[in-house]
Amino acid sequence: MIFTKTELAEVVLIEPKVFGDQRGYFFESFNQKEFEEHIELKNFVQDNESKSTFGALRGLHFQKPPFAQAKLVRCIQGKILDVVVDVRKNSLTYGKYITVELSGENKKQLFIPRGFAHGFVTLSDEAVFAYKVDNWYAPEYDSGIIWNDPTLNIDWKIDKEKVIISSKDQQLSKFKDLETPFIY
């Protein structure tokens, strides 16, 4: 696997070595030893999967302590634009974000530590998205930032009229009003 730091240094892009032939392909999607060597020791406790249609936008989410979560995300089928925002007060990259295209074809993964908001939008007809987390889901600790925040001004690579968003995500706060529990 190739581990590459992004512009948000703690967020790491992971590219597997894919072995293909006439039968199909094989690759390691996770290797604890390599992960610890290149990133850090993590005890992932839950795997999640979602299926989304074109334009479905999920995010920008994070959980507050003591249920903050680090995530290892990937797109198994289809194509998504993944977005990560630094919400750690006093960080040099506070309020900065990155976007990465993840797809069933490129098989890239993204490690997102605690202290970052995360979201994605489906760019293909449908997409299957999977992720590991290092803490349990606790809905009472849910938080996030509205997807179309004017301060962040994220280019989601899709017409705003085509975005499909849950009523819950429509209620998320603006970045300027965010009371982040994360201090760098």
CA atoms of 107 and 86, how far apart (whole Å): 24
- Asked if residues 163 and 54 have their Cβ atoms less than 8 Å apart, the reply is no
Of 94, 118, 131, 141, catalytic: 131
Q: Tokens 């017409």 correspond to what residue?
A: 159
Identify whether 38 is a catalytic site residue: no
Best CA proximity match to 169, nearest among 79, 60, 37: 60
Of 25, 38, 61, 118, catalytic: 61
Find residue 125's DSSP bridge partners: none
H or E element that contains 36 = helix 32-38
Identify whether 25 is a catalytic site residue: no
CA atoms of 184 and 174, how far apart (whole Å): 20
Q: Is 113 helix (H, G, I), strand (E, B) or coil?
A: coil
One-letter amino acid for residue 146 of the chain: I
Q: Which residues are designated catalytic?
A: 61, 131
